[in-house]
Structure 1
Amino acid sequence: MQIMAKKEIYTEIKIYATPEKIWNILTDFSNYHSWNPFIDQISGEILEEKKIQVKINPVGGNPMQFKPTLQHIEINHKLSWLGIFLFKGLFDGLHQFEIIDNNDSSIQFIQKENFSGLLVSLFNLDKTRLGFEAMNQALKQKAEL
């Protein structure tokens, strides 16, 4: 019997901006290259169950491209996608952006990913965590202009 490994990356940052402004930046896929040091490119329609194309540049790592499927879209609150390597259960990643209104002219931006699958224990996700943190800081800088 195979045991399914699991890991999570969780990052959070306070940003002085409205949920609408953060949402507009996150869903403007064509401009990711101009501000985002981690996710170079995203393309595709923002519709649940649609595949998008994502290119990431992990800090100190090699660029990677994949085609996840959008899972949950809640305007001004949540965007998530599921990436699957080769076949489900091998190395899956559920990536989520969450925007929580603090009701004080700021939001909490949460970026997290839950990894699961037979190969998860073989991967060091430190570079991915650094990428999330770099993206969060870049988003804060862009939104607070």
Structure 2
Amino acid sequence: MFVIEKIVEINASPEQVWKVITDLKSYPEWNPFMRECSTTFKPGAPIDMKVALFSKPQPQQEIVKEYIEGKLFSYTMKPVGGGTVLSSFRSHEVEAFPNGRTRYRSYFYLKGWLSPLVRTLLGSRLEKGFAGMTKGIQERAEKLAAQG
């Protein structure tokens, strides 16, 4: 299994962080990894995105797994080979901290017998992408907080 986890404390309210995560139309303004994204957020619904693993963002479709307003948004790829070949899970978690701060957790895993190959070929690009997205969420939410 290949796991990427990023946890940051953000100087913004959970509501401001959540707004950044769910304002999909604004992703091109701040998100260096997921350049486009659209979904209804309903479990089972598709998520159409363009992911920047290479110089030109590539289309990708995932499926909403869980959506809890203000707290959790997770999704998965369509499993390959019933999940034994390759499957993924991605989540955004938001938790209130004291003094109006927020704990944001970005979590991703790939599993299946093909995951070591994907990690070898794309691991550093995925690490960079999720780090950039996490930093973007933090910076955008803190900017919103500073604006009041």
TM-score range, shorter chain: 0.7 to 0.9
Letter in 1 for 2:78: I
C-alpha displacement of 1:140? 1.2
Aligned to 2:133: 135
Q: What do you get for the CA RMSD once the two structures are aligned?
A: 1.6
> How far does the alpha carbon of each residue in 1:39-63 deviate from its partner, in whole angstroms, 9 at most, with x for none?
10111211111111011113x6663
Residue 39 of structure 1 corresponds to: 34
Query: Do 2:33 and 2:132's aligned partners in 1 also have CA atoms closer than 8 Å?
Result: yes
- Give the fraction of aligned pairs with identical amino acids, expressed as a percent: 20
Indicate if the aligned counterparts of 1:61 and 1:127 stay in contact, CA closer than 8 A.
no
CA contact (8 A) 2:10 2:138 kept: yes
C-alpha displacement at 1:85, in angstroms?
A: 5.5
Q: What displacement does 1:66 show?
A: 1.5
| Structure 1 unaligned blocks of 5 or more | 1-5
CA distance in 2 between counterparts of 1:41 and 1:88 reads: 28
Supply the distance in 2 between the matched residues of 1:34 and 1:61 (Cα, whole angstroms): 17
Displacement of 1:88: 3.2
Separation (CA, whole Å) in 2 of partners of 1:29 and 1:87: 30
Name the residue aligned to 2:146.
none
Q: CA, structure 1 residues 25+64, in 2 after alignment: closer, same or farther (shift >3 Å)?
A: same
SS at structure 2 position matched to 1:20: helix
Moved over 6 A (4+): none
Shift of 1:130: 1.1
Q: Quote how far apart the aligned CAs of 1:101 are.
A: 1.1
Task: Please say if 1:111 is aligned against 2:106.
Answer: yes
Structure 2's unaligned 5+ residue stretches are: 144-148
Give the Cα–Cα distance (whole angstroms) in 2 for the partners of residues 135 and 27 of structure 1. 13
Code of the aligned partner of 2:44:
E
Shift, 1:23, TM fit: 1.0
- CA–CA distance in structure 2, aligned partners of residues 8 and 32 of structure 1: 23
**Greater helix fraction, Structure 1 or Structure 2:** 2
Give, in whole Å, the separation in 1 of the partners of 2:106 and 2:25.
Answer: 20
